[in-house]
Amino acid sequence: MVRRTVRGLTAWAGDHPPPGPFRRTWWRSPLRGPWLTAVLGSVLLVGIPVVIVTGLVSYLAYEPELPGNDKTPGKGLLGFYLAGWTTEPRWLYRLTQGVHVLLGLALVPVVLAKLWSVLPRLFVWPPVRSPAQLVERLTLLLLVGGILFEIVTGVTNIQNWYVWGFSFYTAHLYGGWVMIGAFAAHVAVKLPVMLRTLRARPLRAELRTDLAHTEPEPPDEDGLAPVAPGPPTISRRGALAVVGGGSLLVLATSVGQSIDPLRWTALMAPRGRTGDGGPNDFPVNKTAEYRGITADQVAAGVWRLELVDGDQRVELSRDELLAMEQHTYELPISCVEGWSTSQTWTGVRLRDLARLVGVPDPGPARVTSLQQGGAFGAASFSADQVLNPASLLALRVNGADLSLDHGFPARVIVPAAPGVYCTKWVGQVDFRLGASA
């Protein structure tokens, strides 16, 4: 009896939607329909996993498992794959993080178009028809909320606009996992529908259809296609071209941030600089002034590098470091924000410094900066990273002394390490990290 009443009420409510967007006649665009949604969905089905994987790789590259590095002590099972980071190939982090940020940016217009294509679903009436629909709508809130959250935190972070009340590093990671769960469920539920829809309407035929021949898709049970379509003002291929053009425009005005000869083309991306062309003319993560470093602190006769191994301590001036065997490598420095640059660094090998303080066979080491504040004033490296011949305490770049903004008197450069770990204004290197841990 009760059940029949509920069913009767639901049926009645379904037939009497409130006015406005809850009525299917409100949605007029003749382009909306399962096919358009499926095409946009198939692009995201390829693109989003690449952004997810490169993002998870970045977390791996930060080596949270080394003592002192972990900003996410609560990670629990989410750190299941952490197993150290590599130093080869040297351009690996440059590639993965460049792809993460650039592809993430380029997918924004696709995400927006996809959301536009399914917008009538938000106002579906009655809002809940079955338990399945209720849980699906809740996972969609996690999915859409998660994707928008990742886009907003990522896009504002690369512009140094810190508007949220929490750490970007942790929020982008955990927010990402919330999205991953919902994304996987959405794919599992919708993949068969997507494939069926794509097969029913060949892409090639649709790409040959001009405005004059553009027909609305027939009304579908999901309510994506309009029941009362207006006249088309753009063809479906035209709409897809606009979305793709948006992605290309975003890429064209940002990709230079990761490719040195094209840096001048990064018109909209942060740090798309064209400076004086000197040896120190490449992007700076944080300036010396911002990190409270003064010229007095690092002046000759004041600054000393401290090497530590337990009770053993050795202090070196910059001249003494310059008197050691110097090595030169061309190595990229790649920021989590996506920009990167390859420069020629000259300095002392980290493993030679270890030998100086009586550690012939170094394990993990921790490098500490003189800088004030900031979450990355120190970084721990694995034994593999310390032992790599190209891992340097760099004193010079492109044949000139490091500028103060680039870490004078000395900075670390480790192949394939995230840029923020290439600590500037180094004050101390502790080679006893492995023993104390």
Partner 1 sequence: VSRLRRWYGAGPLHALATVVAALVSGYALTRFGTDAPWVDLGLWFVGSVVLHDLVLAPLYALADRSLLAVLRHRRPATGAAAPAVPVVNHLRVPALLSGLLLLLWAPLVLRLTEGYEPITGEPVEVYLPRWLGISAVLFAGSAVVYALRLRRAARRRRS
- Applying the rule CB under 8 A, the residues between 388 and 417 that interact with partner 1 are 405
Work out whether 1 is an interface residue with partner 1 (CB under 8 A).
Answer: no
Nearest CA to 366 among 430, 302, 309, 318? 430
Task: Please identify, among the stretches 114-122, 300-308, 315-323, 380-388, the one whose residues bind partner 1 according to the rule CB under 8 A.
Answer: 114-122
Enumerate residues 202-241 that contact partner 1 by CB under 8 A: 233-234, 238
Work out whether 155 is an interface residue with partner 1 (CB under 8 A).
Answer: yes
- Choosing from 88, 215, 260, 289, the residue that interacts with partner 1 (CB under 8 A) is 289
Of 136 and 306, nearer to partner 1 (C-beta) is 136
Compute the least distance from the CB of residue 321 to partner 1, in Å. Answer: 26
Task: Please identify, among the stretches 60-68, 90-98, 112-120, 381-389, the one whose residues bind partner 1 according to the rule CB under 8 A.
Answer: 112-120
Burial 36-69 (b: 16+ CB within 10 A, else e): bbbbbbbbbbebbeebbebbbbbbbbbbbebeeb
Helix (H) or strand (E) holding 136: helix 131-158
Residues in contact with partner 1, counted by CB under 8 A, come to a total of: 79
Q: What is the largest CA-CA distance in the chain?
A: 93
Secondary structure of 142-166 as H, E, C letters: HHHHHHHHHHHHHHHHHCCCCCCCC
Enumerate residues 254-283 that contact partner 1 by CB under 8 A: 267-268, 270-271, 273, 283
Work out whether 142 is an interface residue with partner 1 (CB under 8 A).
Answer: yes
Of 170 and 342, nearer to partner 1 (C-beta) is 170
Compute the least distance from the CB of residue 73 to partner 1, in Å. Answer: 7
Q: Which two tokens stand for residue 177?
A: 């996992």
Task: Please identify, among the stretches 90-98, 196-204, 249-257, 357-365, the one whose residues bind partner 1 according to the rule CB under 8 A.
Answer: 249-257
Work out whether 327 is an interface residue with partner 1 (CB under 8 A).
Answer: no
Q: x/- contact string, 172-191, with partner 1 (CB under 8 A)?
A: --xxxxxxxxx-xxx-xx--
Of 242 and 302, nearer to partner 1 (C-beta) is 242
Using an 8 Å Cβ cutoff, are 265 and 239 in contact? no
Quickly count: other Cβ atoms within 10 Å of residue 19's Cβ. 7
Compute the least distance from the CB of residue 99 to partner 1, in Å. Answer: 17
Which residues partner with 344 through β-bridges? Answer: 330
Q: Is 213 helix (H, G, I), strand (E, B) or coil?
A: helix
Task: Please identify, among the stretches 166-174, 221-229, 389-397, 408-416, the one whose residues bind partner 1 according to the rule CB under 8 A.
Answer: 166-174
Compute the least distance from the CB of residue 401 to partner 1, in Å. Answer: 18
Of 288 and 370, nearer to partner 1 (C-beta) is 288
Work out whether 367 is an interface residue with partner 1 (CB under 8 A).
Answer: no
Of 68 and 320, nearer to partner 1 (C-beta) is 68
Quote the distance between the C-alpha of residue 126 and its chain's center. Answer: 38
Using an 8 Å Cβ cutoff, are 364 and 434 in contact? yes
Residues 6 or more apart whose CB falls under 8 angstroms from that of 412 comprise 350, 367, 379, 391, 392, 393, 394, 421, 422, 423, 426
Q: Kindly tell me the sign of the dihedral angle through the C-alpha atoms of 426, 161, 138, 144.
A: negative
Using an 8 Å Cβ cutoff, are 98 and 334 in contact? yes
Quickly count: other Cβ atoms within 10 Å of residue 116's Cβ. 16
Compute the least distance from the CB of residue 262 to partner 1, in Å. Answer: 16
Compute the least distance from the CB of residue 186 to partner 1, in Å. Answer: 8
Compute the least distance from the CB of residue 390 to partner 1, in Å. Answer: 27
Of 99 and 387, nearer to partner 1 (C-beta) is 99
Of 183 and 329, nearer to partner 1 (C-beta) is 183
- Choosing from 109, 338, 427, 434, the residue that interacts with partner 1 (CB under 8 A) is 109
**Looking at this protein, which amino acid is placed at residue 272?**
G
Q: x/- contact string, 23-62, with partner 1 (CB under 8 A)?
A: ----------------------------------------
C-alpha–C-alpha distance, residues 202 and 143, integer Å: 28
Work out whether 131 is an interface residue with partner 1 (CB under 8 A).
Answer: yes
Question: Cα dist. 399→276, 278, 330, 375, 425 in Å?
Answer: 16, 10, 12, 31, 19
| HSE value, Cβ hemisphere, 13 Å, CA-based, for 418 | 24
